[in-house]
Amino acid sequence: MASLPVIVLTPIKNESWILERFLAVTEQFADAIIVADQMSTDNSRDIVKQHPKAILIENNNPEYDELYRQQLLIDKARELFPGKKCLLALDADEIMTAASMTSSFWSQLNDFEEGTVLTFEKPDIISPVTQCIRYNSYFTLGYIDDGAPHTGRKIHSVRIPRKPDSPVIEIEDVKFMHYALTRTIEYRSRQRLYSVIENVKKIAPFYRRLLSYSYRLNDYVTQHTISNTPEDWFTGWERSGINMRTIQTSEVNNYTEQVLGYMQEYGVKQFYLDDIWDKDWDAFCRESYPSYSGKIKNIPFYRRWILDAIVLGLKVIKKVKG
């Protein structure tokens, strides 16, 4: 479709809930989809193997490390597709709108100079999928590859190379729908995971983690204007038989599994001041993760009260300042 090869870079770990949808859409505009699987235990790998444009590679790093996985993907793209190309770094829950297929962007790709950064609108689809949150800022997802080194961080990292003097272009009529907020259970699970990782990696002090990830401080959806999702974002794909609206959700998910792993490795006390105790971990493990049963105890009442007091104080400070 495009005048320049479009290579999509996608990391996965247990993404079977959305992966078929993502690949069915993405193969309509991509020349190749490089998928780095981080030891999935669901059927994600089998789904990838059913799509000819998808190239499955292994991410055997047991740690959560965004810099490592993006470097892995970029290196493989450069190995398999040397020369000028468009790299698009998309998570499996980021799906292009059907209306984007008619954009002139695809035919103009070859006109962009190497080293150009491409930014796109990435609205959050919320439950039900007929509603969404749209943002004024654009997201850095694309790069006209010039072989520049990739720099980033282990968490909350930029996905593609970006030099200080890189030209940046906003692509207004190509949009990627972000499905993460359609699953509020998993979204909360991921917030817990981020807090735990930032604790272990000493990325942020406890009060910063509370401000960023406390479920009582950050009702994300209510802080934004909600819009109706344009039907033409879906209809073209649905005419092709792609299911765009069904959502699978579960308390048992890979984010929760990683949190349990960190608690087992570092001990529960390490995370007393992380706001991850809205879940009854002891009962949850007995029912869903028997291998952890008896190992992950709930926070003692007096420490729960201390954490509540700290969160309340931060909530007051945040309200006064903002």
- One digit per residue, the tens of pLDDT, for the chain of length 322 reads 457 999 999 999 999 999 999 999 999 999 999 999 999 999 999 999 999 999 999 999 999 999 999 999 999 999 999 999 999 999 999 999 999 999 999 999 999 999 999 999 999 999 889 999 999 999 999 999 999 999 999 999 999 999 889 999 999 999 999 999 999 999 999 999 999 999 999 999 999 999 899 888 777 787 889 999 999 999 999 999 999 999 999 999 999 999 999 999 999 999 999 999 999 999 999 999 999 988 888 888 878 888 888 988 888 887 777 6
At 263, list the tokens: 């608690």
User: How is the chain split into domains, by residue range?
Assistant: 6-181, 183-222+245-321
How far, in Å, CA of 52 to CA of 320, rounded?
Answer: 55
The neighbouring-strand residues paired with 7 are 32, 87
Is the distance from CB of 88 to CB of 70 less than 8 angstroms?
no
Q: Taking Cα atoms as reference points, which of 49, 17, 24, 21 lies closest to residue 35?
A: 49
Q: Taking Cα atoms as reference points, which of 192, 199, 164, 19 lies closest to residue 95?
A: 19
3-class SS letters over 208-223? HHHHHHCCCCCCCHHH
Q: Phi/psi of residue 129, each to 5°?
A: -70, -5
How far, in Å, CA of 107 to CA of 123, rounded?
Answer: 24
Is the distance from CB of 276 to CB of 259 less than 8 angstroms?
yes
Q: Would you identify the CATH topology of the domain 6-181?
A: Spore Coat Polysaccharide Biosynthesis Protein SpsA; Chain A (3.90.550)
Q: Is the pTM of this model over 0.85?
A: yes
How far, in Å, CA of 276 to CA of 299, rounded?
Answer: 10
